[in-house]
Amino acid sequence: MASHFSPEDSLLMPHIHDLGLLKDSLGRWASGLDITRLGSLAACISVAPVAWRFLKAAWIESYNWIRQFFVASVTVPGRDPLNRNVMSWIMANVVQNRRGIRSFTARTHVHAGDFADRAALMKKKRREVQYLPHFDTTLFWHGSCLYFVSRSLDSFRASMGDPSYDGIGGEELTIGCLGWSTEPIKKLIQTCQDYAERQTEFFVIIYARDRYGMSWQPKARKPIRRVDTVHFDDRLKETLLADIRNYLDPSTKRLYQGRSMPYRRGYLFYGPPGTGKSSLSTALAGEFGLDLYEVKIPCVASDQDLEQMFLEIPPQCIVLLEDVDAIWTDRDSERDESQGVTRSSCTLSGLLNVLDGVGSGEGRIVIMTTNKPDRLDSALVRPGRVDMKLMLGNISRKSAEQMFVRMFMPDTVSSPLAAKITQDAVGSIGGPALFDLKTLHKLALKFASQIPEDTFTPSQLQGFFQLHLNSATEAVANISSWVDRELSGSLLDDDISAVSEEKTS
Ligand SMILES: Nc1ncnc2c1ncn2[C@@H]1O[C@H](COP(=O)(O)OP(=O)(O)OP(=O)(O)O)[C@@H](O)[C@H]1O
């Protein structure tokens, strides 16, 4: 086919020359085209989607058939604690070990508590980004068995939308292996459970209701706090520990069962705010290797919700009922309205029902805390529901001395875990000047002698230490002026409350 452009035109407009060439070659290709071949090509293209659908259906059918006859499987629902344990093991031992992972989920790190970095604690924390390998099915060998784990990503978005969810264990999991027996899967699950236990050896897991109030979720994983870091009367502490130790002893359980008594134990911790009621509960959970389930009574929506919560709490654990004085009783209603007191929507009878019914589950320890013990109904604190009452009050000189020693004791002595984690950090930022124990005890005595007996709460004193963590001698030098300031501050508070009382009367 001849071009309509002259050579001069081509020189003036070079792209016209290229277009001409393209037109020529297309023309040559079209003239040599066999129309029957074109028809078959079109027929093939139109059949392809049907063939693809057929192959896909055949694959699904044969895969289901193979699964039915040659694969054993176990499904673990999302948000079940077991799901979390299995996922953690798979993340650490299968997914993270694989090179070349190319799909990740990125999200803001929820629990960015790096307590080893003392310098970082002093400033506002930058929110870290957490990367989690993203997968739906993964195959791996463990021992001599080939396993597959499928994660149902249908519920993935819903889980990730919950800010309290840390990205592990929210989606339904199916674990499978070749063969007719589920034994290898059970063994794998046991391995995951053992792994999870080893991971939490140094930690207390605190569970709280999720933001919808639908299920228990791990709210925090706190390093175990030793009971001797909560300062109160030593003899009381020993009595409390001995009581719990005795209760958890298997022979005690047999005794309870033999005498048809509900195997449960209740404690009431009362005292002013900041005297260690919550800290002691967490420390006890660590001491006895129990998980802690936290129920904030003022936040419970109804008796039904409370019952549901207790139904889902496992048997061997500590249930912490915080601020039980907020429970609603008939006689309180009118008085509260006039005084503007916040009360829970669940009632005393609702609470008594769960404590005696679903709440009396095997081996549970129920700890109630309150700042206002005089407001508690006698039915709530009768023996059987509360077996021991413990008053946590202002700090004594003896406890202040112990607190001082703990604050300036080298980490290697006070906590092996903290020592392991902080040894580098302390070195790099110039940690506190350390003394030999004899000098430390002398300084502690001098420090405590300047503190009035039973006047300040332990949390107040902790606030003082936070300002002088790097020097024990500086702490001793500054304590008396701090005491004076605090006392005049409390006097000021007293004046304010006296004036406000006058106004209301
Ligand atoms: N007896 C104590 N020994 C050591 N530290 C304490 C003690 N009491 C309080 N603290 C410290 O004070 C802070 C507050 O303590 P905690 O929350 O346990 O007090 P609480 O009595 O439960 O207070 P609230 O009644 O307001 O809930 C914590 O950081 C804790 O370490």
pLDDT digits (tens, 9 = 90+) for 292-329: 999 999 888 889 999 999 988 988 899 999 999 988 66
| Adjacent-strand bridge partners of 106 | 131
**Amino acid identity, position 468:** H
Residue type, 20: G
Q: How far apart are the CA of 118 and the centre of ligand 1, in A?
A: 21
Answer yes or no: is the C-beta of 460 below 6 A from any ligand 1 atom. no
Q: Tell me 213's DSSP state.
A: S
Q: Considering the chain, what is the average pLDDT of its residues?
A: 81
- Signed CA dihedral, 231, 233, 234, 240: sign only: negative
User: Locate tokens 């609702």: which residue?
Assistant: 350
Contact 386, 268 (CB under 8 A): yes
For 147, the 3-state DSSP assignment is strand
Run of H or E including 408: helix 397-408
Distance of CA 75 from the midpoint of ligand 1 (Å): 42
Q: Which residues contact 482 (CB under 8 A, 6 or more apart)?
A: 464
What are the tens digits of pLDDT across the range 67-112? 778 889 999 998 788 998 998 899 888 887 777 777 777 777 655 4
* Ligand 1 contact via 462 beta carbon (within 6 Å): yes
Query: Which residues make beta-bridge pairs with 292?
Result: 206, 318
One pLDDT digit (tens) per residue for the chain, 505 residues:
444 545 555 555 656 677 778 888 887 877 777 777 788 888 888 889 999 999 999 988 887 888 778 889 999 998 788 998 998 899 888 887 777 777 777 777 655 444 444 444 445 566 677 777 777 888 899 988 999 998 887 767 666 666 666 677 888 899 999 888 999 999 999 999 999 888 877 889 899 988 777 888 888 888 899 999 999 999 999 999 999 999 999 899 889 888 888 888 999 999 999 999 999 999 999 999 899 999 999 888 889 999 999 988 988 899 999 999 988 665 555 555 555 556 667 889 999 988 887 656 678 999 999 999 998 999 999 988 999 999 999 999 999 999 999 998 876 444 544 444 444 444 443 444 556 788 899 999 999 999 999 999 999 999 999 999 888 999 999 999 999 999 887 645 555 554 455 545 4
Q: Are 443 and 435 in contact (CB under 8 A)?
A: yes
Q: What b/e string do you get for 176-193 counting C-beta neighbours within 10 Å, with b at 16 or more? A: bbeeeeeebbeebbebbe
Strand partners, 206: 220, 292
| Ligand 1 atom having least distance to the Cα of 271 | 21
Name, in order, each residue with C-beta under 8 angstroms of 260's C-beta and a sequence gap of 6 or more.
none
Ligand 1 contact via 231 beta carbon (within 6 Å):
yes
Look up residue 76 and give its two tokens.
């673990």
Tell me the Ramachandran region of residue 128: left when phi exceeds 0, alpha when psi lies from -120 to 50, beta otherwise: beta
Determine the Cα–Cα distance for residues 486 and 492; give it in Å rounded to an integer.
9
Q: How far is the CA of 242 from the centre of ligand 1 (A)?
A: 22
Q: What ipTM did this prediction achieve? A: 0.97
Centre of ligand 1 from the C-alpha of residue 420, in Å: 25
Q: What percentage of the chain has pLDDT greater than the value 90?
A: 40
Edge-first strand order for the sheet with 145-151 is: 71-76, 173-178, 145-151, 137-142
What per-residue confidence (pLDDT) applies to 334? 53
What separation in Å is there between the alpha carbon of 137 and the centre of ligand 1? 46
What is the predicted pLDDT for the residue at 212? Answer: 76
Q: How far is the CA of 458 from the centre of ligand 1 (A)?
A: 7
CA 335 to chain centre: 38
Write down the domain spans for the chain. Answer: 71-202, 218-391, 397-504
Contacts of 279 (CB under 8 A, 6+ apart): 225, 230
- CA dihedral 407→409→414→419, nearest 10 degrees, is 100
Q: Does any ligand 1 atom lie closer than 6 A to the CB of residue 464?
A: no
Which token pair is 444? 């502690």
- The answer to whether the beta carbons of residues 244 and 284 sit under 8 Å apart is yes
In contact, 300 and 345? CB cutoff 8 Å: yes
Cα 188 to ligand 1 centroid, rounded to whole Å: 41
Ligand 1 within 6 A of CB of 394: no
What's the gap in Å between 397 CA and the centre of ligand 1? 17
Contact between 167 and 160 (Cβ < 8 Å): yes
Cα–Cα distance for residue pair 26/20, rounded to 1 Å: 10
For ligand 1, whether the C-beta of 217 sits within 6 Å is no
DSSP state, residue 258: H
Mutate to test the pocket of ligand 1, among 234, 459, 460 (most ligand atoms within 8 A of CB): 459
Cα of 275 vs centre of ligand 1, distance in Å, is 5
Give the span between the Cα atoms of 213 and 413, in whole angstroms: 41
How far is ligand 1, taken at its centre, from the CA of residue 280, in Å? 8
Residue with CA closest to ligand 1 atom 27 = 273
Fold exhibited by the domain 218-391: Rossmann fold (3.40.50)
One-letter amino acid identity for 373?
Answer: P
**For a substitution probing ligand 1, which of 227, 229, 232, 278 has the most ligand atoms within 8 Å of its CB?**
278
For the sheet with 364-370, list strands across it: 216-223, 203-209, 291-296, 317-322, 364-370, 264-270, 388-391
Mutational pocket test of ligand 1: of 279, 407, 415, 454, the residue with most ligand atoms within 8 Å of the beta carbon? 279
- Which residue has the least CA distance to atom 16 on ligand 1? 276
Structure tokens at 292: 């802690």
| Residue (of 456, 353, 352, 449) closest to 401 by Cα position | 449
CA-closest residue to ligand 1 atom 24: 273
Q: How far apart are the first and last CA of the chain?
A: 110
State pLDDT tens for residues 232-277: 999 999 999 999 999 999 899 889 888 888 888 999 999 999 999 9
- Span from the CA of 126 to the centroid of ligand 1 (angstroms): 27
**In 244-279, which positions are buried (b, 16+ CB within 10 angstroms) versus exposed (e)?**
beebbeeeeeeebeeeeebbbbbbbbbbeebbbbbb
Pocket lining: 222 vs ligand 1, CB cutoff 6 Å: no
Q: pLDDT value at position 202?
A: 84
Contact 269, 392 (CB under 8 A): yes
Nearest alpha carbon, ligand 1 atom 5 = 230
130 DSSP β-pair partners: 107
Long-range contacts of 190-195 (CB under 8 A, 24+ apart): 191/89, 191/142, 192/82, 192/85, 192/86, 192/88, 192/89, 192/90, 193/82, 193/85, 195/85, 195/88, 195/89, 195/92, 195/93
Q: What pLDDT was estimated at residue 96?
A: 77
Q: Is 370 in the pocket of ligand 1 (CB under 6 A)?
A: no
